[in-house]
Amino acid sequence: MSDKPTYTITLKEIETNHAGVSELLKFYSWARQYRYAGIQLNISPCNSMDANLSALLLAIVHKLKTENKVFVFLITADHMNVFLRNGLIAHLAGKGNINPYTDYRESTIPCTSFDTTDDEGFCGYIRKDFFGHRGMDQIKSTTKITLATHFEEIFVNVLQHANTSYPVFTCGQYFPERNVLKFTLVDLGEGFLKKITEKTNGEVASNNAAILWATYNLNTTKDIKTFGPGGTGLKELKKYCAENDGSLHICSGDGYVNFIKDRTLEHHLTQPLPGSLINLIFRKL
């Protein structure tokens, strides 16, 4: 039996919503107390965990390793081989983006990390691995190209605004029995609030308000005279989801906003995210 400190998740399902994200952030808050140690995360009691959230888990693990010299070991159950197939286990074993296992079910978009300057690698991943996935076959090619451009703008914004040298982490999962595809992108930068508060001279003062500000009208923290209109990536993804029965979830700090159809649902996390997260859910594929 291992003598490593262990955090056990007891939720039966960890899904792509504020509750699932909150549960993983509770683990991060617990793990931060350790220095120069090996710890264990036990997810085996879960009946299921959305594999796209591997991006968030990998971001947390990377931050713990870099800042605290804490190494995380994952305890899974037999039915969780998706974490072998999507590359999370390879990352935790130090293999980076090289996954020795194949996804024989073709249900995952690989768990991948990108240097913030690797826009070419990210663009290739988005166009080939994400929009080239079999789960996206029903979407028109012209629509895929447009959506890919919006994702690429979001990646460029990380480099320009997040003020971080940490990688960007991505992962997706396709659920063919439900015709649903879920995709997650995480950065470990400053989040939305700091620069938006500065831009609005303090008028925007909470994480949820900052997320809402960034997704409405022509709002942008860019210098429009220098860079032209900006901030369209998130707004266009939100519009596409609203028109196609999808949903866009954005998390930054303790804020979490879910845009679904004509509704906007706000939540507050008890443990903040050190950065920003985008969850995109495509339905009726």
Query: Whole-model pTM above 0.85?
Result: yes
Beta carbons of 275 and 187 less than 8 angstroms apart: yes
Residue 229, pLDDT score = 43
Identity of residue 57: L
**111-131 per-position pLDDT tens digit:** 999 999 999 999 999 999 999
CATH number corresponding to 6-282: 3.30.565.10
What does the pLDDT read at residue 154? 93
What pLDDT, on the 0 to 100 scale, is given for residue 126?
Answer: 97
Residue 163 contacts by C-beta under 8 Å, 6 or more apart in sequence?
Answer: 189, 190
- Supply the DSSP string of 221-236, one letter for each residue: SS-HHHH-S--HHHHH
Q: What is the pLDDT of residue 262?
A: 86
Instruction: Kindly give the parts of the chain with pLDDT less than 50.
Output: 223-230
The pLDDT of residue 174? 98
Query: Residue 113: what pLDDT?
Result: 98
pLDDT in tens, 155-171: 998 888 889 999 999 99
- What is the 3-state secondary structure of 23-58? HHHHHHHHHCCCCCEEEEEECCCCCEECHHHHHHHH
Per DSSP, 190 falls in state -
- What is the model's pLDDT at position 1? 56
Instruction: Give the DSSP letter of residue 177.
Output: T
Query: What are the structure tokens assigned to 1, written together?
Result: 């039996």
pLDDT of residue 222: 56
Q: What is the pLDDT of residue 159?
A: 81
> Which pLDDT does position 2 carry in this prediction?
77
The residue count for the chain = 285
pLDDT tens per residue across span 62-103:
999 999 999 999 999 999 999 999 999 999 999 999 999 999
Beta-carbon contacts of 53 under 8 Å, excluding residues fewer than 6 positions away, are 14, 16, 20, 21, 24, 171, 184
For 158-167, b/e burial (b = at least 16 CB within 10 A) is bbebbebebb
